[in-house]
A and B are shown apart, each in its own frame.
Chain A
């Protein structure tokens, strides 16, 4: 595993710490922006309650005050997660609360798929020494690993990448299983795009005029479907090397940009690039930004240690 998939190569604690800040911030902003929406499920008709995931432990919906309180608790734990404060507790606590509030939101007869990867990423970070750099714990000497550059900071990053590529693979496999290879060669994608846009239009929501217009040109869709399947079924190849991983991340981002353009479906975690950050040496980008900011302010850059 060491040579092929680079699980136990040394990596800087800073990379994992910055990924905690980046992914945790995306999750906290999501909960903050959607707080009212997430809390509104406390007042939904109990007859529509159809629990999924961990919410399956419940037979009946929670009282409205508790739904709201859990959203607030998730927000507070999320701030501690991003800050890296008491991470042994705040890490798993935020992961569980984020899982709960998003699962509760999906427990009303409609399961959406825009937050799955973000939640899984937060869960991976919670089980790793993610607050050994860029964290309050690191400054207070409460590290879980050796600090500096070590293999213990690489495998969590690889698990983040693994989770991402497997999720895309499962999505691609579902298309082959349900739609057959017609999904690639036939009109399935065109019909999906036309139907999705029409359903939104008739329900008074935003739709993609571009996607609707392009459905006139049937020949466009088999190549698009093939590209989709290359990105999804080919995703596991992204684990084989840094460059191929980065190339796949770029292709996957374009895939999501295409989904916005043709179907007006926004996957914020992917479109902001956060989902694909584990394929990059984020500490290098961070240092570059810090140096430019220092130069812009007329101050000398702060020297920082960087890993491989």
Chain B
């Protein structure tokens, strides 16, 4: 293989990996990423969109990513709830999650799709109650 070929492959891959730097506006893709994760200027107070279960006596239970988003990936679960809130389809999502909870046999009575506002730094200091909670949808778990 010639040096010309070697340089062409070198330039091709070098330019490709650097190309996301020049996307305007910045946009993530695959496999050529601008690696936006953890780069935003975040404050400690943030909204977390998720779904929770309530037991027969009203006790609150966290649901797994599989119950919320249909896969084991937590980011997919978070994305699923976020998409539903934006699209106004939280009622449908709530019923989907409730059906998964019923199929899995968990002793829960109600599912809520919520946005909770937390101060994440304070949370890990023991102040774990949300600063605010907005319930987008509430549905019963089918028996």
A interface, CB within 8 angstroms of B:
7-8, 37, 40, 44, 48, 52-53, 99, 102-103, 106, 108-113, 115-116, 119-120, 123-124, 127-129, 144-145, 151-152, 155-156, 158-159, 162-163, 166-167, 169-171, 173-175, 177-180, 182-183, 187-192, 194-205, 212-213, 215-216
Contacting A at CB under 8 A, from B7-37, are 9-10, 13-14, 17-18, 20-21, 26, 28-37
A residues near B50, Cβ cutoff 8 Å: 199, 202-203
CB distance from A107 to the nearest CB of B (A): 8
User: Is B54 engaged at the interface, CB distance under 8 Å to the other chain?
Assistant: no
Q: Among the listed A109, A152, A158, which residue makes an inter-chain contact with B1, where contact means beta carbons less than 8 Å apart?
A: A152
Between A and B, 12 residue pairs with Cβ closer than 8 Å are: A111-B30, A127-B9, A128-B9, A144-B1, A170-B34, A174-B26, A189-B38, A191-B44, A192-B40, A197-B120, A203-B78, A205-B74
- Given contacts A106-B30, A159-B13, A166-B18, is CB(A179)–CB(B39) below 8 Å? yes
User: Is B99 engaged at the interface, CB distance under 8 Å to the other chain?
Assistant: no
CB distance from A113 to the nearest CB of B (A): 6
CB distance from A172 to the nearest CB of B (A): 8
Scoring B residues 29 to 60 as 1 if CB is less than 8 Å from chain A, else 0, what string do you get? 11111111111111110101010000000000
Interface size (B, Cβ < 8 Å)?
A: 56
Q: Lowest 4 A-B CB distances belong to which pairs?
A: A171-B35, A194-B120, A205-B74, A212-B124
Asked whether, in the complex, the Cβ of B10 is within 8 Å of the Cβ of A155, the reply is yes
Most buried by A among B18, B44, B125: B44
CA distance A129 to B2 in the complex (A): 12
B interface, CB within 8 angstroms of A:
1, 3, 6, 9-10, 13-14, 17-18, 20-21, 26, 28-44, 46, 48, 50, 62-65, 67-68, 70-79, 83, 116, 118, 120-121, 123-125
CA distance A200 to B48 in the complex (A): 10
A residues near B38, Cβ cutoff 8 Å: 175, 189, 192, 196
Asked whether, in the complex, the Cβ of A99 is within 8 Å of the Cβ of B20, the reply is no
- Minimal Cβ-Cβ distance residue in A for B126: A216
Q: Among the listed B29, B48, B124, which residue makes an inter-chain contact with A111, where contact means beta carbons less than 8 Å apart?
A: B29
